[in-house]
């Protein structure tokens, strides 16, 4: 197996931010997904209250939190560049009785990709759902977060589900 080099390490294996100074700006788009699994007591309550809590609409608050987080990615991931985002779109939907799918699509015209912004956006949206529902149960599971696709820049990526 051929190993690739980590881009965030210099020749002495010290951490560094990647220099993007000579790269061209292109349109970059990334889509990430997080899956939340709800225990029965949370799923039943969400059905009965139309996705609202005393803190407000659970999905609306999660969208706002995830959008804010995507915009602040460089503040929490040390080597992420500050990227002027063109758009952040977060969608939450129920899948069956006990799953919530969170998707975050981020777009920017810049010199580096927006994968981390999409991953952070859907992660924080999922954490917000957890926060707003934890009074009902701490058995909510944030099952997985993954990059689904990215386009623009040096290469495109599309997640291939080998389980299907």
- Cβ contacts of 96-100, under 8 Å, gap ≥ 24: 97/38, 97/43, 97/47, 98/37, 98/38, 98/39, 98/40, 98/43, 99/35, 99/36, 99/37, 99/38, 100/35, 100/36, 100/38, 100/126, 100/129
Exactly one of 47, 60, 75, 131 is catalytic; name it. 131
131 carries an active-site annotation? yes
**Catalytic positions, written as ranges:** 131
């Amino acid at each position: 197996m051929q190993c690739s080099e980590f881009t965030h390490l210099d020749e002495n294996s010290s951490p560094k931010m990647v220099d993007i100074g000579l790269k061209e700006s292109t349109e970059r788009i990334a889509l990430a997904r997080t899956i939340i699994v709800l225990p029965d007591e949370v799923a039943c309550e969400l059905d009965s209250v139309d996705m609202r809590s005393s803190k407000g609409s659970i999905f609306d608050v999660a969208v706002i939190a995830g959008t804010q987080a995507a915009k602040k990615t460089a503040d929490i991931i040390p080597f992420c560049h500050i990227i002027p985002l063109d758009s952040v779109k977060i969608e939450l939907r129920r899948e069956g009785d006990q799953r919530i799918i969170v998707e975050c699509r981020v777009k920017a015209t810049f010199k580096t990709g927006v994968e981390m912004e999409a991953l952070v956006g859907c992660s924080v949206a999922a954490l917000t759902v957890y926060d707003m529902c934890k009074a009902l149960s701490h058995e909510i599971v944030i099952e997985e977060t993954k990059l689904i696709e990215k386009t623009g820049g040096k290469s495109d990526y599309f997640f291939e589900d080998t389980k299907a």
